[in-house]
Structure 1
Amino acid sequence: MTQATIPVIDDISILYSEPKLAGARARWASLAHDFEQLYGRVPDFIARSPGRVNLIGEHIDYAGFGVLPMAIEDDCLIAVAIDNTGIDSTVKIANTNSAKYPTLKFVPKPAAQGYVDIDPQAHVWTNYFAAGYRGVLEDLQIEKPKGMLCLMSGTVPAGAGLSSSSAFVCCSVNAALRAQESLLPAGKTPTAHELAIISIRSERYVGTMGGGMDQACSILAKPNSACFIEFHPVLKVTPVAFPTTIPPIAFVIADTLVTSDKAVTAPVRYNLRVVETRGAARILALALGIPIPASGKLHLKQVLDAHFDKIGYTPAAGKTEAEIDIEKLTEMVQVVERVFGTDEIKNGVTFEKLCELSQLSGDEFTRLYIQQPIRAERFHLYRRAKHVFGEEKRVVEFRDTCEKAEAKKQSAETVFSLLGGLMDASQESCHELFDCSCDQLEELTKLARRSGAYGSRLTGAGWGGASVSLVPEDKVPAFIATMKKEYYNKHHPELSEEELDNVVFASAPSSGAATFVGRV
């Protein structure tokens, strides 16, 4: 576990690639100017947390498995001035787009009352700030918080699957910590790793049962690398450098412009998938003779680990860690076929049947597995479990390819084809097994492949949002031009060239959260 805290910087050039630096400087300067105009004083600091694009590993973080996202250069910024008088604890959060996003002003309640009211059914933008603020104060047990004047600016496209909401929560956590840090005992400032965990907990206040990938990447990402993020038995983030190729690897993000709002659709999509995968984990454990934990809860990664412990698995001599993982995951797909392979289960089961298979009453199942609202007539255990194990196998293979390509002296064509093939297989599984694609994503990913991408898949939960495509760097301009012509001009002819540049773009791997102090 890293002991580093969120970095404090006085130069934003380390956050952005050269092509985007000038625009970023102008935006930061505009935020500082707008803050001074609004509040009559300069900000004490600016908190920053980026969005992310998940390269591979969709809907498996909450099943306990590792994922492979990278932070992007689009981000959330919150400029903050602190009230150091100890008299006024009022919090005010405004948005640079005030016409669309109204200001919230509140005086924090006592700790026993949760500091600030958050209604998950009221889908307002300030819920995400309130969630991060509340999460920090609760975790650090701050009784009399300092007042905060805040102004937020965000460039992560909302509803595009690039984690705009989590970037906002993480930035709010970062901002709240910095503002209240002087109230903490010496040496008690949370590490970046601990802040990622606080951010994961905090976002659940807005009604989303996330697994933690978005927050871990936004807080802990390192420049020029993807993040291999593991969740079981503890949160662990390992930088994964991309192999050096000629031409270099590039990733192009394309927004379908179909909004996927997790807070609105969670009961029939995101939260439902969490319940299906955890129900599947319990039933697989029962079928394999694995003891259920005293808590009654477990996820699919725990089932895998317990199964191979139970059978006394010993890998063949000389096998690499990746080869061992691939062997285990391949067997678990076969286990899914054996346990869930009947027509009745393949077609989805009712809630009553789900409880019967789980050996629980309806009330017991609800208490253990349904912490957030869901709506469903049938639960798809077979398809969800098969996707999870297969998708983690692809994550392992993607990381292994990145880490070993240069040692194997693989050509750029070989590397692109291997990684792209895994991305395509992921998209097929998301569409066929996890039911999280949509017509626009199918159209966009197929067009990407025809336009020169080696692989293309949805990213960020799906049901709309964005795709990510692997494209040789020297082909990016032509690729983007084709995507604009064949998808956006066809479906969204009203978009200006500037607007198009904000919905289809390449992004360099960015660093994670930071706190800027000084003059912009």
Structure 2
Amino acid sequence: MAAELPIPVYTSLTDVLGDLQTASVQASRWNDVVEEFEKRFGKKPAYIARAPGRVNLIGDHIDYVLFGCLPAAVEQDILFACGPSSQASAGSVAAHNLNPKFAPQNFTPMLKSAPIPSATEQKEAEKAVNAESWDLDINTKELRWESYVKAGYYGVLNHFFPPSSNERPVPIDILVTGSVPAGSGLSSSAAMVVASTLSFLAVNNKLGELTKGQLVEMAMENEQRVGVNSGGMDQAASVISMPSSALYITFFPFLHAEPILLPVLRTNPRAVFVCANSLVVSDKAVGAKTRYNLRVVETLAGARILARHLNVPLQPTERPPLRIVLGRWLGYTETKGQPSELDTDKLKDGLKKVLAEVEKLRPAGRADGEELGLTMEEMIKESGLDKKTFYEVYLSWVEVEATHFQIYKRVKHVFEESLRVIEFRAACLRAADAAQTPDGALPESVLRELGDLMDTSHESSSKTLENSCPEVDELVRIAKEAGAYGSRVTGAGWGGCTVSLVAEDKVDAFIEHLVAHYPAYKGLEGEALKQVIFATKPSSGACVLKLE
């Protein structure tokens, strides 16, 4: 199982990047980081931690309710050059960024007097944030680059340096650089947190004490410290991904990652995935209370309201996500840590069955053009809880802002998108089997099937989940006009990137069409253009290059 593998530590760049050709192209960038680190800190780094960004091919905003998704790591990545510092203060950090707009930062973690949280408390995000042994002063109201560095440090401190231990973290120097555009939907934030976590693990000699899956869980907890209730897809894709493959990532009853070969990259006819940045910046931590975190609350409250309609009993203080409510309704006992009885085929059948029941969440007598959301008072009434209990369970740990909560639309998106992920996975598996035949031909109908799933996914994101924006919708429309089999928003949304499935021999014409018709691309050329439109090559996951 991929999640149980150790975190890779390499001693050559070829091993890091997978092949000699890629390593030769990237070598100058890595050498520049080493040389700049030596200029700033007077010695070479001991390690370089690498964490790639990711593109989600299909399945956004369903990971935090424990349904599977299909991301792939991209070549764009975040690098942390790091090494022990000669500073006197235990655990102190000097963090520099190669981007001159980000000023150097120095900080030192402080021990709190509060007791260490229990194992149960650490698994609950809100308690893990508010009841920890160390303090690094992350301001979630203001987005700062060093907050992601601090977030990665938190998990290492709280997992490996309890106050009761005589061991203390070593001081560390860090130099950060990255090629994942911030706010692009390619998960630069998760890559930052994963690379940061790896850096502090490496310098403190703790890398060998975690598996990839444990690193994903730690990175999930860490990113929540910057104010985003992440579901784990971004971190899992950055850590566990494999070349030439997407990952079918599931989260219940435990983290599982299944590599899914993308035969479109190696069969005839060949097709590739092309990312195009809308240039609308949307960081998950900015506006989270009206966007990302609001979707989390809507789906969680939706799970309780749906459970009432399905006659699935819940305890007043329970907060089960939709995946667990569905399993209980279908009669499967699924305890965390035990294999799930609900395999992919049964899950597919269950999703089709429950979608008819979701219509019960639609407010009676309201047409599509009318308000389908619930006021706070209506939502609490539908939950069956009193106001105080509802607030404690669903709102006390997260800040959200809305006049209407779109319970029906969000639940509908989750179940329909989860079904599309399963169908996308099945089409990839069928295509991989076809590639094993003597002619290795890939029926074009498979590409059209994958494209149709991407198109309907974007339609749902735009109108049901409402995490798109006019610019992204326009970019998707232009991509389809340019001949893409399918195109959709990828990542958290509200800007960022689209991903399109394009015939390989038409990529140049596809890009030319986007440049000519998407207004924000006017005047872009050369390297600037390559930064906003590029064909993706699925990358390997996070690792550490040891230089000493």
TM-score by length of 1: 0.92
- Taking the aligned partners of 2:353 and 2:363, their CA distance within structure 1 comes to 14
Which residue matches 1:352? 377
Structure 2 residue corresponding to 1:493, chosen from 510, 514, 522: 522
| Cα shift at 1:498 | 1.4
Is contact 1:16–1:24 with CA below 8 Å preserved after alignment? no
User: In the TM superposition, what whole-angstrom CA distance separates every residue of 1:448-501 from its partner, at most 9, and x where no partner exists?
Assistant: 1111210000000111100000112222222122222221xx334343421111
Classify 1:440/1:106 alpha carbon distance in 2 versus 1 (closer, same or farther; 3 Å): same
Please give the residue correspondences for 1:353-368 in structure 2 after superposition, counting only pairs within 5 Å: 353-368=378-393
User: In the TM superposition, what whole-angstrom CA distance separates every residue of 1:75-119 from its partner, at most 9, and x where no partner exists?
Assistant: 00000011489864321111001x211111012211545241111
- Taking the aligned partners of 1:508 and 1:119, their CA distance within structure 2 comes to 36
User: In the TM superposition, what whole-angstrom CA distance separates every residue of 1:270-296 from its partner, at most 9, and x where no partner exists?
Assistant: 000101000110011112111214741
Which residue matches 1:384? 410
- Taking the aligned partners of 2:94 and 2:329, their CA distance within structure 1 comes to 51
Is contact 2:278–2:520 with CA below 8 Å preserved after alignment? no
Which residue matches 1:263? 285
- Taking the aligned partners of 2:267 and 2:420, their CA distance within structure 1 comes to 21
Q: Is 1:504 aligned with 2:533?
A: yes
Is contact 2:278–2:496 with CA below 8 Å preserved after alignment? yes
User: In the TM superposition, what whole-angstrom CA distance separates every residue of 1:221-253 from its partner, at most 9, and x where no partner exists?
Assistant: 112110111111111111111124213231100
Q: Secondary structure at the match of 2:331?
A: helix
Is contact 1:346–1:380 with CA below 8 Å preserved after alignment? no
Classify 1:85/1:158 alpha carbon distance in 2 versus 1 (closer, same or farther; 3 Å): closer
Q: Is 1:307 aligned with 2:329?
A: yes
Which residue matches 2:484? 453
Which residue matches 2:106? 105
Per mean C-alpha deviation after superposition, the further-off stretch among 76-85 and 446-455 is 76-85
| Cα shift at 1:4 | 2.0
Classify 1:102/1:362 alpha carbon distance in 2 versus 1 (closer, same or farther; 3 Å): farther
Structure 2 residue corresponding to 1:59, chosen from 45, 61, 65: 61
Which residue matches 2:192? 168
Q: Secondary structure at the match of 1:152?
A: strand
| Cα shift at 1:16 | 6.1
Which residue matches 2:11? 10
Structure 2 residue corresponding to 1:49, chosen from 44, 48, 51: 51
Classify 1:432/1:44 alpha carbon distance in 2 versus 1 (closer, same or farther; 3 Å): same
- Taking the aligned partners of 2:89 and 2:481, their CA distance within structure 1 comes to 62
Classify 1:75/1:449 alpha carbon distance in 2 versus 1 (closer, same or farther; 3 Å): same
Structure 2: unaligned runs, 5 residues or longer: 114-132, 334-341
Structure 1 residue corresponding to 2:248, chosen from 215, 224, 228: 228
Structure 2 residue corresponding to 1:177, chosen from 192, 201, 204: 201
| Cα shift at 1:446 | 1.1
- Counterpart of 1:263, as a letter, is A
| Cα shift at 1:142 | 4.7
- Taking the aligned partners of 2:112 and 2:27, their CA distance within structure 1 comes to 38
Q: Is 1:514 aligned with 2:536?
A: no
| Cα shift at 1:323 | 4.1
Is contact 1:229–1:235 with CA below 8 Å preserved after alignment? yes
Classify 1:385/1:205 alpha carbon distance in 2 versus 1 (closer, same or farther; 3 Å): same
Structure 1: unaligned runs, 5 residues or longer: 312-319
Is contact 2:269–2:444 with CA below 8 Å preserved after alignment? no
Classify 1:147/1:199 alpha carbon distance in 2 versus 1 (closer, same or farther; 3 Å): same
Structure 2 residue corresponding to 1:209, chosen from 225, 229, 252: 229
Is contact 2:487–2:499 with CA below 8 Å preserved after alignment? yes
CA RMSD of aligned residues (A): 2.2
Is contact 1:208–1:372 with CA below 8 Å preserved after alignment? no
- Counterpart of 1:439, as a letter, is P
Is contact 1:322–1:400 with CA below 8 Å preserved after alignment? no
Q: Secondary structure at the match of 1:208?
A: coil
Q: Secondary structure at the match of 1:69?
A: strand
Q: Is 1:285 aligned with 2:304?
A: no
Is contact 2:90–2:169 with CA below 8 Å preserved after alignment? no
Is contact 1:455–1:470 with CA below 8 Å preserved after alignment? yes
Is contact 1:17–1:508 with CA below 8 Å preserved after alignment? no
Which residue matches 2:348? 326
| Cα shift at 1:518 | 2.4
Q: Is 1:242 aligned with 2:262?
A: yes
Structure 2 residue corresponding to 1:131, chosen from 151, 167, 170: 151
Per mean C-alpha deviation after superposition, the further-off stretch among 321-330 and 68-77 is 321-330
- Taking the aligned partners of 1:461 and 1:397, their CA distance within structure 2 comes to 21
- Taking the aligned partners of 1:398 and 1:74, their CA distance within structure 2 comes to 24
Structure 1 residue corresponding to 2:41, chosen from 39, 61, 64: 39
| Cα shift at 1:259 | 0.6
Which residue matches 1:398? 424
| Cα shift at 1:265 | 1.2
Is contact 1:95–1:151 with CA below 8 Å preserved after alignment? yes
Classify 1:434/1:19 alpha carbon distance in 2 versus 1 (closer, same or farther; 3 Å): farther
Q: Is 1:76 aligned with 2:78?
A: yes
Q: What is the aligned residue count?
A: 504
- Taking the aligned partners of 2:19 and 2:522, their CA distance within structure 1 comes to 30
- Taking the aligned partners of 2:142 and 2:174, their CA distance within structure 1 comes to 21
Please give the residue correspondences for 1:419-498 in structure 2 after superposition, counting only pairs within 5 Å: 419-487=450-518, 490-498=519-527
Which residue matches 1:145? 169
Is contact 1:220–1:513 with CA below 8 Å preserved after alignment? yes
Q: Secondary structure at the match of 2:64?
A: helix
| Cα shift at 1:13 | 3.1
Which residue matches 2:124? none
- Counterpart of 2:533, as a letter, is V
- Taking the aligned partners of 2:355 and 2:296, their CA distance within structure 1 comes to 19
